[in-house]
Amino acid sequence: MTNLLLFPVLIPFLTAMILLFFPKRITAQRAVTVTGMIASVIASTVLVSVVLRDGVQAVTLGSWPAPFGITMVSDPLSAGLVLTSNLITLAIVFYSFRSIGKGREKNLYYSAMMFMLTGVNGAFTTGDIFNMFVFFEVLLMASYVLIVLGGEKRQLRESIKYILVNIVSSAFFVTTVAMLYSVTGTLNMADISAKVSEIGQSGILTVIAVMLILVFGLKGAIFPLYFWLPSSYAAPPVPVLALFGALLTKVGVYAIMRTVTLLFPHDPGFTHELLMILAVLTVIAGCIGALAYYDLKQIVIYNIIIAVGVILFGVAQMNMAGLEGAVFYLIHDMLIKAGLFMLIGVIIAITGTSNLREMGGLMKTYPGLAWTWLIAAFGLAGIPPLSGFFGKLLIVQGAFEADNLWGGIIILASSLLVLLSVIRIFIHAFWGEPKPVKGTTAGVYRGLLIPAVIVTALTVMYGVGTEWLRPLMWDAAEILHQPSIYIDAVLKE
Q: Which residues bind another protein (CB under 8 A)?
A: 130, 133-134, 137, 140-141, 144, 148, 151, 153-154, 156-157, 159-161, 163-164, 167-168, 170-171, 174-175, 177-179, 181-182, 187, 231, 295
CB 33 within 8 Å of CB 86:
no
- Residue 141 C-beta: closest distance to another protein, Å: 7
Nearer to another protein, 4 or 134 (CB): 134
- Residue 131 C-beta: closest distance to another protein, Å: 9
Nearer to another protein, 8 or 67 (CB): 67
Q: At what angle do helices 76-99 and 320-351 cross, to 10 degrees?
A: 0
Nearer to another protein, 133 or 328 (CB): 133
Nearer to another protein, 106 or 154 (CB): 154
Nearer to another protein, 48 or 179 (CB): 179
Q: At what angle do helices 249-258 and 129-148 cross, to 10 degrees?
A: 170
- Residue 355 C-beta: closest distance to another protein, Å: 9
- Residue 157 C-beta: closest distance to another protein, Å: 5
Q: What angle do CA 422, 425, 429 make, to 5 degrees?
A: 155
CA–CA gap between residue 200 and residue 264 (Å, rounded): 10
Which residue type is seen at 428? H
Nearer to another protein, 149 or 396 (CB): 149
- Residue 312 C-beta: closest distance to another protein, Å: 26
- Residue 139 C-beta: closest distance to another protein, Å: 12
Nearer to another protein, 91 or 180 (CB): 180
Distant-in-sequence contacts of 77-80, Cβ < 8 A, 24+ apart: 77/254, 77/257, 77/327, 77/476, 77/479, 77/480, 78/124, 78/125, 78/254, 79/5, 79/44, 79/47, 79/48, 79/51, 80/48, 80/327, 80/331, 80/472, 80/473, 80/476
**102 burial type by CB count under 10 A (0-12 exposed, 13-18 middle, 19+ buried):** exposed
- Residue 304 C-beta: closest distance to another protein, Å: 18
CB 275 within 8 Å of CB 316:
yes
In three-state secondary structure terms, 237 is: coil
Which among 275, 299, 272, 273 has a CA at the least distance from the CA of 286?
299
